[in-house]
Amino acid sequence: MATPVTKVTHVGGARAGAGSPTVSEETIGGWSFRSVSAPIASSARIEEVEAALSLPHGVPVPEACFADNSLTIRHDASGTELRINAVDALRSWHSRQSRIAADAGGVVCATSFDWAYENEYDGLLVRGPGAEAVPMEDSPRGLPMELLRLREDIVWSCHLSLYEDDLHDMGVVECTVKARVMASCFFVLLETFVRIDGERTALRQARFCHEFGSTSVLRDVEVRSASAQEVVGSGRPTGAPLGMTAAAGVPPVALAAGVSCRMAALDGAPAPTETDPIVYGCSRCRTPLFRHKHIMDTGSAASQSNSFFLSEALKWMEEASKDTESKLYCPSCNARVGALNWVGVQIPGGDWVSPAIIIHKKAVDPRSTSITGPPVVGASAGPPRLEAVAKPEARDSAAVAAGSSAAAPASAGAAAASAGGAGGVGPA
């Protein structure tokens, strides 16, 4: 039986000044929780981190390093702490790359290092004040899934980025930690996600759970990896998870539940066709955005650029298409994916494309639509519709033909706004 809340304190959003860390604290069930959320490390702080890690000259840390972000969970009675922070995560990365280099008979240097920043970091368990750090011990019992499925109010939570990098526009790496505390238990998810475009995708997750009143903290570690071909073809990574606890007895589908949000195919995407089986989705949240058939053939010179040019504006671009020139954002996670310009732009090779509907290649991933599932956007709304949206001029003409009494707009932007008010916004 879970112990009741014994004490609750909260110091959230306390800032000593601009750019200073935000500290949030909570005490419940004999445990104290403390998170520190700070801005991206300054150049001076980066130098301190590089010195602390003893990195060889020229080997950089990730572009977005949140060196002062940390999560500390302390058992008040014994002083035992679970510590998760950015510097230790990077220390694990450097230790891993040094070991791999040594096994291959080489050394880590500015021209040979792990630029994907993969780690083997599962947090540190520190036993008592000043005690030596020891690895967290796995429990043969696995995680109490029934307990975690209970609908309870979240007393305290945090979501921290430890480091991020776009891998020189060739992919992404994200190391994050999330925690939530309920009246009966707490749960922590430490995750490192790596995607190297055209090569491979990897995910390492360490999960911690403790039921208040019990005598142990349970840990479950899962590592998944797949080639780009496997991910595109099936939507999910293959291969047996590594380093798993007794929870290995649980069917793989259940263990993959936390992975599906990142590595599943474009759930809810339109049904595939024999001639156009691929849908491109947001690389961050996998929301379907356009089909392969929407990509214009702009010639060999333009095909080598970092962007796709679409043949028409789609329904999810409706708001952006009201202006002559605007940026395009994913309708689900609001990540920037491209730009729209009704006037047009000059593409590599000298040709002029009008209108120019530009999608950054690094912002989207191709996915087969052969795997279906629940819609990504909303519980019942389904994915964004992939119908075309008319140009501002065409919508204005449609409004006039429908008998609109609106005055002629003075600009293309006003025409779009007027047409929007008249309801001429393209197919429903």
Q: Cα–Cα distance between 306 and 323 in angstroms, integer?
A: 24
Length reported for the chain: 428
Instruction: Tell me, yes or no, whether 101 and 210 share the same domain.
Output: yes
Instruction: Give a yes or no: residue 9 inside a domain.
Output: no
Q: What percent of the chain has pLDDT over 90?
A: 29
Instruction: Tell me, yes or no, whether 67 and 80 share the same domain.
Output: yes
Question: Could you tell me what percentage of the chain is helix, strand and coil, using 3-state DSSP and rounding each to the nearest 5?
Answer: 20, 30, 50
The whole-chain average pLDDT of the chain stands at: 72
Instruction: Tell me, yes or no, whether 109 and 173 share the same domain.
Output: yes
Instruction: Tell me, yes or no, whether 241 and 111 share the same domain.
Output: yes
Higher pLDDT, 418 or 79: 79
Q: Whose structure tokens read 């190297």?
A: 196
CB distance 58 to 48 below 8 Å: no
Instruction: Tell me, yes or no, whether 83 and 36 share the same domain.
Output: yes
Least confident of 52-56, 142-146, 391-395, 415-419: 415-419
Instruction: Tell me, yes or no, whether 409 and 313 share the same domain.
Output: no
Instruction: Give a yes or no: residue 186 inside a domain.
Output: yes
Q: Cα–Cα distance between 139 and 245 in angstroms, integer?
A: 7
Higher pLDDT, 249 or 99: 99
Strand partners, 291: 279
State pLDDT tens for residues 52-103. 999 999 899 999 999 999 999 998 888 888 999 999 999 999 999 999 999 9
What is the number of domains present in the chain? Answer: 3
Domain containing residue 366: 278-389
Host H or E run for residue 279 = strand 278-282
Instruction: Give a yes or no: residue 45 inside a domain.
Output: yes
* 324 class by beta-carbon count within 10 Å (0-12 exposed, 13-18 middle, 19+ buried): middle
Higher pLDDT, 114 or 395: 114
Instruction: Tell me, yes or no, whether 349 and 425 share the same domain.
Output: no
